[in-house]
Amino acid sequence: MPNPVAMGSLIRCSQGVAPMPMVVLPIARVTSSFIPLATVNDFIPFVNIPPFALCNSAANPAVVAARAAALGAPVPGPCVPVTTGPWSKGATKVKIGGAAALTKDSKCRCAWNGEISVVSTPATRVNVK
């Protein structure tokens, strides 16, 4: 059974340059070891999904501008995540506030051709499936 994703879990984008901690707001949520657990609906940019430092995607307008300024040299631009919808493949049996619990094998898409995935989760005593 995959581990649940909690506040502080490291997530990364396939187009970003650095993993970042996920933010899970502690609003009437289930906790594990006093850490709020995430759901598939925790995908809001800058609220739940932080910028991943820099972006390498040629679909990102900020990267296009950075490359133009560098006279075509392949340079990354600022990361501004634009998630396209909820996380996919949440828990099938565990719900938190009516939404599927987020698990370590869940994925989220960014409009700039990135796939956001979970790198690591804090140690918890709860497993979901």
111-124 pLDDT tens trace: 999 999 999 987 66
Overall average pLDDT of the 51-58 stretch: 96
Give residue 4's pLDDT band: very low, low, confident or very high (50, 70, 90). Answer: confident
pLDDT, position 2:
72
Total domain count, the chain: 1
Residue 129 inside a domain? The answer is: no
Per-residue pLDDT, 65? 94
For the residues 78-82, what does the mean pLDDT come to? 95
Contacts 24+ apart (CB under 8 A), 59-63: 59/111, 59/112, 59/113, 60/15, 60/112, 63/112
Q: Is residue 47 exposed (0-12), middle (13-18) or buried (19+ Cβ within 10 Å)?
A: exposed
Residue with tokens 């396939």: 14
Confirm whether 96 is domain-assigned.
yes
Q: Which of 39, 116, 58 is nearest to 82 (CA)?
A: 116
Q: Which position has the higher pLDDT, 30 or 43?
A: 43
Domain, as residue range, for 70:
1-120
Is residue 126, in this structure, part of any structural domain at all? no
- Percent of the chain past pLDDT 70, that is, above it, reads 90
**φ, ψ of residue 68 in degrees (nearest 5):** -65, -40
Residue 128 lies in a domain: no
Chain mean pLDDT for the chain: 90
Whole-model pTM above 0.85?
A: yes
